[in-house]
Structure 1
């Protein structure tokens, strides 16, 4: 029905697992049927779709909605599973164009998240999903934060990356002109149950191992912590984000 994926095209798609190739080609890969459908409904420009023959047979109604600009290729399950990062590929993947970086839309309203060097792709993807759950539309990321278009980030976000705007920038410089309360999540901060959250502000979540960098600690206007009642050494960054976002949202009701 469709042309078979060539070796050169397969190599091109595999290379997009690495950030340097994603940037060089201005492209990224999103795996799975749900991801592809979400991309189709978004403003992202899809370059090509690769699927198994059985996928195309079972989903002709979806394929019929493809714009003429999308290249479509067939590949075996074995080849397709080797192109992506997921353990269980769902018979299809899409290659889309990276959007051009944009500056945060001002003024920042409500809760804005800031991530200072989050390294684990699963954590970033989960934090994006948490932001979407709590209606947070802007996340500011230090340049040391893992790339949004890392396949594992996209997988963990469960499509929420399409609804939350991420901006990579120099956080210390940005914060100096933010004109908003900047709340740092820190072990020595005020207990979250006693903390008075502002109507609008930025919540800073630090690196999994090193916390918030000194340059940002110097400009935070307040600090908050989650009390420990047991013996665990630390909380996962995504879990801490969820707890703090929940308390902040409760305070705004």
Structure 2
């Protein structure tokens, strides 16, 4: 049986302020948990059902009903792990970097982290207004990629001003990305889902690029930010 204090701690980790207060985040799903157990992340506690077992220290066998009480998922996935939030790492500026300007949706952030992993982008820079990468929904969407991408939260304008590499911003009105020769080293800035790149960030961007629309009616307002990131990263790597 889980104690009331255990349940209170686990359920509190759904909120950013309690993740920061306790220094822990939640991971659900056997596949993702196994992947994170192979990383340098520090496991605090692992809760598994009586019908499933993952070989790890600090393991607690609980009932299906207890797992439902603590799970953030509509359909709990046999196991939940609590990991310690790692200390921030230095930013490696030697390769292609993705920077996010106030990306709010956890699903979008999680997908972008996974895209960075897929395209070999090791550094993801987030403005302080961007969703928390340790949000359970973000972790779920990354499918384990969070351990292979270094995520840093910074004052984005200050960071970009200090860059010695070209800074590319994704805009509706910009140079056709298919007509550009893109470098292997640089920063790709993706803007907020509703408002795009902010004026403050736009002021320090050196090149505006866009993904052209091919539809006959040209009626689609914009692409989802994660979808746009996938297209642009593909072009950077192809070039």
TM category (shorter chain) comes to over 0.9
CA distance in 2, matches of 1:190, 1:242: 17
| Equivalent position to 1:240, from 222, 228, 238 | 228
SS for the counterpart of 1:193 is: helix
- Contact kept in structure 2, 1:137 and 1:164, CA below 8 Å: yes
Structure 2 CA distance for aligned equivalents of residues 75 and 10 of structure 1: 12
CA–CA distance in 1 between the matches of 2:184 and 2:39? 30
Aligned counterpart in structure 2 of residue 73 of structure 1, from 53, 56, 60? 60
Structure 2 residue 188 is matched with structure 1 residue 203: yes
Structure 2 residue aligned with 1:249: 237
SS of residue in 2 equivalent to 1:198: coil
Equivalent residue for 2:121?
136
How many Å separate the matches in 1 of 2:182 and 2:147? 28
Residue 98 of structure 2 is aligned to residue 113 of structure 1: yes
**Helix, strand or coil: the match of 1:54?**
coil
CA distance in 1, matches of 2:20, 2:236: 36
Matching of residues 182-221 of structure 1 within 5 Å = 182-221=167-206
- 1:82 & 1:224 partners in 2: Cα distance? 47
Q: Check whether the contact 1:183–1:203 (CA below 8 A) recurs between aligned residues.
A: yes
Distance 2:85 2:149 in 1: 15
C-alpha contact (below 8 Å) 1:17/1:84 kept by paired residues:
no
Q: For 1:34 and 1:81, locate their aligned partners in 2 and report how far apart those are by CA, in whole Å.
A: 18
Residue number among 90, 97, 115 corresponding to 2:77 in the alignment: 90
SS in 2 for 1:238: helix
Q: RMSD of the alignment, in Å?
A: 1.2
The 2-side partners of 1:89 and 1:116 are apart by: 33
> Which structure 1 residue ranges, 5 or more long, are not aligned?
57-61
Which residue in the other structure is 2:39 paired with?
42
Asked whether the 8 Å contact 1:5–1:74 carries over to 2, the reply is no
Query: Where in structure 2 are the equivalents of 1:161-176 lying within 5 Å?
Result: 161-176=146-161
Q: CA deviation at 1:178?
A: 1.0
How far apart, in 2, do the equivalents of 1:84 and 1:192 lie? 43
Greater shift, 86-95 or 218-227, is seen at: 86-95
TM-score if structure 2 supplies the norm length? 0.95
- 1:75 is displaced (CA, Å) by 2.2
| Shift, 1:32, TM fit | 1.2
